[in-house]
Amino acid sequence: MTTLYVDNIAPNLQSSVAIPGHVIQVVQSTSTTSFNTTSTSFVAYTPVTTSITPSSTSNKILIIANIPAYSIASTQCFATVYRGTISGTNLGAALSGFGGSYNNSNNNIVVNYLDSPNTTSSQTYTVAVRSNNGNTVYMPDNNAVVTFTLMEIAG
């Protein structure tokens, strides 16, 4: 039988070992800053624009957003997330994003999306909203909090 004697065990801080599916890092932004728009094209809600730097090209970014929105009668407020700035890649559907607040109601637009940026460069993610018909849409509603969370998931 062999015996191994050590005086000290220390982690290898240079190691990039990660178990697939595990969370490596979490970044979150929140805001209660009022915002409204009449634009029928997506407009950035910059208070929660957030960046994260993946540690491996095989890792994914889990995007979780809660966007309290309000729209008046006959109006829909759609929300989406862009990788990069507003001129970057729209991760939701081209016109409806990840869903909306409809017809004189308060709704939380919820985003759960697993992105594959395939890079180790810093990635910026931007929340954006739009009106379907040019009437005003509002967020966050009733002093609610917009939350925007990015989680790096080991690939």
Strand, helix or coil for residue 46: helix
Alpha helices in the chain (DSSP H): none
Q: Are 71 and 138 in contact (CB under 8 A)?
A: yes
- Residues with Cβ within 8 Å of residue 46, at least 6 apart in sequence: 126
pLDDT of the chain, 155 residues: tens digit per residue? 788 888 877 666 666 667 899 999 999 999 999 999 999 999 999 999 999 999 999 999 999 999 999 888 788 999 999 999 999 999 999 999 998 877 666 788 999 999 999 999 999 999 999 999 999 999 987 779 999 999 999 99
Q: Which CATH number fits domain 31-153: 2.60.40.3500, 2.60.120.1340, 2.40.37.10, 3.30.930.10?
A: 2.60.120.1340
Cα dihedral 115→117→122→125 (10° resolution): -40
Following DSSP, what letter does each residue of 2-30 receive, concatenated?
-----S-----TT-----TT-EEEEEEEE
